[in-house]
Amino acid sequence: GENVEQHPSTLSVQEGDSAVIKCTYSDSASNYFPWYKQELGKGPQLIIDIRSNVGEKKDQRIAVTLNKTAKHFSLHITETQPEDSAVYFCAAIFTGGGNKLTFGTGTQLKVEL
Amino acid sequence: KAGVTQTPRYLIKTRGQQVTLSCSPISGHRSVSWYQQTPGQGLQFLFEYFSETQRNKGNFPGRFSGRQFSNSRSEMNVSTLELGDSALYLCASSPDGQVGTEAFFGQGTRLTVV
Protein backbone atom coordinates (compact mmCIF):
# COMPACT_ATOMS: atom_id res chain seq x y z
CA GLY A 1 0.00 0.00 0.00
CA GLU A 2 0.92 3.65 0.03
CA ASN A 3 3.48 4.22 2.70
CA VAL A 4 6.26 6.66 3.55
CA GLU A 5 8.51 5.79 6.46
CA GLN A 6 10.55 8.53 8.08
CA HIS A 7 13.49 8.29 10.50
CA PRO A 8 14.43 9.39 13.06
CA SER A 9 11.35 10.66 14.89
CA THR A 10 13.48 13.03 16.96
CA LEU A 11 16.91 14.48 16.22
CA SER A 12 19.01 16.71 18.41
CA VAL A 13 22.15 18.40 17.05
CA GLN A 14 24.53 21.10 18.15
CA GLU A 15 24.40 24.43 16.35
CA GLY A 16 26.68 24.31 13.33
CA ASP A 17 26.45 20.53 12.92
CA SER A 18 24.68 18.77 10.06
CA ALA A 19 21.32 17.02 10.30
CA VAL A 20 20.11 14.18 8.11
CA ILE A 21 16.56 12.85 7.89
CA LYS A 22 15.74 9.77 5.85
CA CYS A 23 12.58 8.50 4.20
CA THR A 24 11.63 5.40 2.28
CA TYR A 25 8.59 4.97 0.06
CA SER A 26 6.65 1.99 -1.22
CA ASP A 27 5.45 2.99 -4.70
CA SER A 28 8.16 2.65 -7.31
CA ALA A 29 6.09 4.85 -9.64
CA SER A 30 6.31 7.85 -7.29
CA ASN A 31 7.85 10.78 -9.10
CA TYR A 32 7.72 13.77 -6.77
CA PHE A 33 9.24 14.09 -3.28
CA PRO A 34 8.81 17.29 -1.28
CA TRP A 35 10.05 18.21 2.17
CA TYR A 36 8.11 20.42 4.56
CA LYS A 37 9.06 22.31 7.71
CA GLN A 38 6.37 22.94 10.29
CA GLU A 39 6.86 25.35 13.15
CA LEU A 40 4.61 25.43 16.16
CA GLY A 41 1.22 26.90 15.38
CA LYS A 42 1.88 27.14 11.64
CA GLY A 43 1.08 25.14 8.56
CA PRO A 44 3.78 23.08 6.79
CA GLN A 45 6.13 25.14 4.65
CA LEU A 46 7.58 23.67 1.46
CA ILE A 47 11.37 23.96 1.78
CA ILE A 48 12.66 21.83 -1.08
CA ASP A 49 11.44 19.20 -3.51
CA ILE A 50 12.90 16.79 -5.99
CA ARG A 51 11.55 14.96 -8.99
CA SER A 52 12.39 11.42 -9.99
CA ASN A 53 14.59 12.40 -12.91
CA VAL A 54 17.07 14.11 -10.59
CA GLY A 55 19.40 12.51 -8.05
CA GLU A 56 20.23 15.53 -5.95
CA LYS A 57 19.07 19.10 -5.45
CA LYS A 58 20.56 21.82 -3.28
CA ASP A 59 19.32 25.16 -2.02
CA GLN A 60 21.79 27.00 0.19
CA ARG A 61 22.14 24.95 3.41
CA ILE A 62 19.49 22.41 2.41
CA ALA A 63 19.92 19.48 0.05
CA VAL A 64 17.85 16.47 -0.89
CA THR A 65 19.11 13.23 -2.41
CA LEU A 66 17.03 10.57 -4.11
CA ASN A 67 17.87 6.92 -4.72
CA LYS A 68 15.11 5.53 -6.92
CA THR A 69 16.51 2.02 -6.97
CA ALA A 70 16.45 1.77 -3.19
CA LYS A 71 13.28 3.91 -2.97
CA HIS A 72 14.65 6.29 -0.41
CA PHE A 73 15.36 9.98 -0.19
CA SER A 74 17.05 12.14 2.41
CA LEU A 75 17.11 15.72 3.63
CA HIS A 76 20.46 17.21 4.57
CA ILE A 77 20.75 20.45 6.53
CA THR A 78 24.25 21.84 6.98
CA GLU A 79 25.49 24.46 9.44
CA THR A 80 22.32 24.13 11.50
CA GLN A 81 20.96 27.15 13.31
CA PRO A 82 18.46 27.45 16.19
CA GLU A 83 15.81 28.65 13.75
CA ASP A 84 16.05 25.30 11.97
CA SER A 85 14.35 23.73 15.01
CA ALA A 86 10.95 22.46 13.84
CA VAL A 87 9.16 19.33 12.69
CA TYR A 88 10.19 18.16 9.22
CA PHE A 89 7.97 16.00 7.01
CA CYS A 90 8.89 14.12 3.89
CA ALA A 91 6.22 13.20 1.37
CA ALA A 92 5.75 11.35 -1.88
CA ILE A 93 3.12 11.35 -4.57
CA PHE A 94 1.55 7.95 -5.06
CA THR A 95 0.21 7.53 -8.55
CA GLY A 96 -1.81 4.37 -8.15
CA GLY A 97 -5.56 4.93 -7.64
CA GLY A 98 -5.25 8.64 -8.31
CA ASN A 99 -2.42 10.94 -7.39
CA LYS A 100 -2.17 11.94 -3.77
CA LEU A 101 0.53 13.30 -1.51
CA THR A 102 1.37 10.92 1.33
CA PHE A 103 3.40 12.18 4.27
CA GLY A 104 5.93 10.60 6.58
CA THR A 105 5.37 10.73 10.32
CA GLY A 106 7.66 13.68 10.91
CA THR A 107 11.01 14.37 12.57
CA GLN A 108 11.29 16.78 15.49
CA LEU A 109 14.62 18.54 14.94
CA LYS A 110 16.13 20.44 17.85
CA VAL A 111 19.21 22.55 17.32
CA GLU A 112 20.93 23.24 20.60
CA LEU A 113 23.18 26.18 21.32
CA LYS B 1 1.59 37.39 -3.63
CA ALA B 2 -0.76 36.43 -0.81
CA GLY B 3 -0.48 32.93 0.58
CA VAL B 4 -3.17 30.38 1.31
CA THR B 5 -5.79 31.78 3.66
CA GLN B 6 -7.88 29.58 5.92
CA THR B 7 -10.77 30.73 8.06
CA PRO B 8 -11.56 30.53 10.83
CA ARG B 9 -8.29 29.83 12.66
CA TYR B 10 -10.00 28.25 15.65
CA LEU B 11 -13.35 26.55 16.19
CA ILE B 12 -15.01 24.85 19.11
CA LYS B 13 -18.02 22.69 18.30
CA THR B 14 -20.21 20.22 20.15
CA ARG B 15 -20.60 16.57 19.21
CA GLY B 16 -23.30 16.10 16.61
CA GLN B 17 -22.98 19.57 15.13
CA GLN B 18 -21.63 20.31 11.68
CA VAL B 19 -18.87 22.67 10.65
CA THR B 20 -17.73 24.41 7.47
CA LEU B 21 -14.14 25.48 6.93
CA SER B 22 -12.98 27.83 4.21
CA CYS B 23 -9.83 28.05 2.12
CA SER B 24 -8.69 30.71 -0.34
CA PRO B 25 -5.81 29.46 -2.52
CA ILE B 26 -2.89 31.40 -3.87
CA SER B 27 -3.97 33.55 -6.78
CA GLY B 28 -3.75 31.56 -10.00
CA HIS B 29 -3.72 28.16 -8.31
CA ARG B 30 -6.60 25.95 -9.33
CA SER B 31 -5.88 22.84 -7.27
CA VAL B 32 -6.92 22.77 -3.61
CA SER B 33 -6.26 19.84 -1.29
CA TRP B 34 -7.40 19.27 2.27
CA TYR B 35 -5.55 17.40 5.02
CA GLN B 36 -6.28 16.42 8.58
CA GLN B 37 -3.40 16.59 11.05
CA THR B 38 -3.53 14.84 14.43
CA PRO B 39 -0.76 13.77 16.82
CA GLY B 40 -1.71 10.13 16.43
CA GLN B 41 -2.32 9.84 12.68
CA GLY B 42 -0.12 12.62 11.34
CA LEU B 43 -1.02 14.33 8.08
CA GLN B 44 -3.77 12.51 6.21
CA PHE B 45 -5.17 13.40 2.82
CA LEU B 46 -8.89 14.17 2.72
CA PHE B 47 -9.63 15.24 -0.88
CA GLU B 48 -8.49 17.40 -3.74
CA TYR B 49 -10.42 19.70 -6.05
CA PHE B 50 -9.46 21.09 -9.41
CA SER B 51 -11.69 23.33 -11.51
CA GLU B 52 -14.66 22.69 -9.22
CA THR B 53 -14.33 18.89 -9.55
CA GLN B 54 -13.17 16.44 -6.93
CA ARG B 55 -10.24 14.63 -8.50
CA ASN B 56 -9.14 12.47 -5.63
CA LYS B 57 -10.40 11.37 -2.23
CA GLY B 58 -8.74 9.89 0.84
CA ASN B 59 -10.06 7.24 3.20
CA PHE B 60 -12.42 9.30 5.30
CA PRO B 61 -16.14 8.67 5.99
CA GLY B 62 -18.84 10.39 4.01
CA ARG B 63 -19.34 12.89 6.85
CA PHE B 64 -16.38 14.72 5.36
CA SER B 65 -17.21 16.56 2.17
CA GLY B 66 -15.96 19.49 0.21
CA ARG B 67 -16.54 21.69 -2.75
CA GLN B 68 -14.75 24.23 -4.87
CA PHE B 69 -16.13 27.39 -6.38
CA SER B 70 -15.45 28.96 -9.75
CA ASN B 71 -12.90 31.34 -8.18
CA SER B 72 -11.00 28.28 -6.82
CA ARG B 73 -11.94 28.98 -3.23
CA SER B 74 -12.84 25.79 -1.41
CA GLU B 75 -14.87 24.73 1.57
CA MET B 76 -14.93 21.53 3.52
CA ASN B 77 -17.79 20.37 5.67
CA VAL B 78 -17.89 17.87 8.48
CA SER B 79 -21.32 16.72 9.59
CA THR B 80 -22.34 14.95 12.79
CA LEU B 81 -19.09 15.83 14.52
CA GLU B 82 -17.36 13.27 16.70
CA LEU B 83 -14.75 13.82 19.40
CA GLY B 84 -12.19 12.15 17.14
CA ASP B 85 -12.65 14.86 14.54
CA SER B 86 -10.70 17.25 16.73
CA ALA B 87 -7.66 18.12 14.63
CA LEU B 88 -5.83 20.75 12.65
CA TYR B 89 -7.38 20.94 9.18
CA LEU B 90 -4.97 22.15 6.55
CA CYS B 91 -5.62 23.37 3.07
CA ALA B 92 -2.96 23.42 0.37
CA SER B 93 -3.03 24.97 -3.07
CA SER B 94 -1.02 23.92 -6.09
CA PRO B 95 -0.55 25.38 -9.54
CA ASP B 96 -1.89 23.47 -12.53
CA GLY B 97 -0.36 20.13 -13.13
CA GLN B 98 0.13 16.96 -11.17
CA VAL B 99 -1.83 16.76 -7.95
CA GLY B 100 0.19 17.67 -4.90
CA THR B 101 3.20 19.13 -6.64
CA GLU B 102 4.46 22.44 -5.27
CA ALA B 103 1.71 22.44 -2.65
CA PHE B 104 1.63 25.47 -0.36
CA PHE B 105 -0.22 25.18 2.92
CA GLY B 106 -2.30 27.61 4.89
CA GLN B 107 -1.98 28.01 8.65
CA GLY B 108 -4.86 25.66 9.26
CA THR B 109 -8.09 25.65 11.21
CA ARG B 110 -7.86 24.16 14.68
CA LEU B 111 -11.14 22.33 15.33
CA THR B 112 -11.98 21.17 18.82
CA VAL B 113 -15.04 18.98 19.34
CA VAL B 114 -16.37 18.83 22.89
Query: Along the 114 residues of chain B, how does pLDDT read in single tens digits?
Result: 679 999 999 999 999 999 999 999 999 999 999 999 999 889 999 999 998 999 889 999 999 999 999 999 999 999 999 999 999 999 999 986 666 778 999 999 999 999
Nearest-CB residue to B98 (from A44, A91, A93): A93
B-contacting residues of A 38-57, CB under 8 Å?
Answer: 41-46, 49
The rounded distance, in Å, linking the Cα atoms of B60 and B71 is 26
Q: How many C-beta neighbours within 10 Å does residue B104 have? A: 19
Q: Does the CB of A28 have a partner CB in chain B at under 8 Å?
A: no
Integer CA distances (angstroms), B100 to A28, A63, B13, B45, B64, in order:
17, 20, 30, 10, 20
Interface contact B101-A89, CB threshold 8 A: no
Integer CA distances (angstroms), B61 to B16, B56, B58, B108, in order:
15, 14, 9, 21
Rounded to a whole number of angstroms, the distance from the CA of B6 to the nearest CA of chain A is 10
The rounded distance, in Å, linking the Cα atoms of A68 and A74 is 12
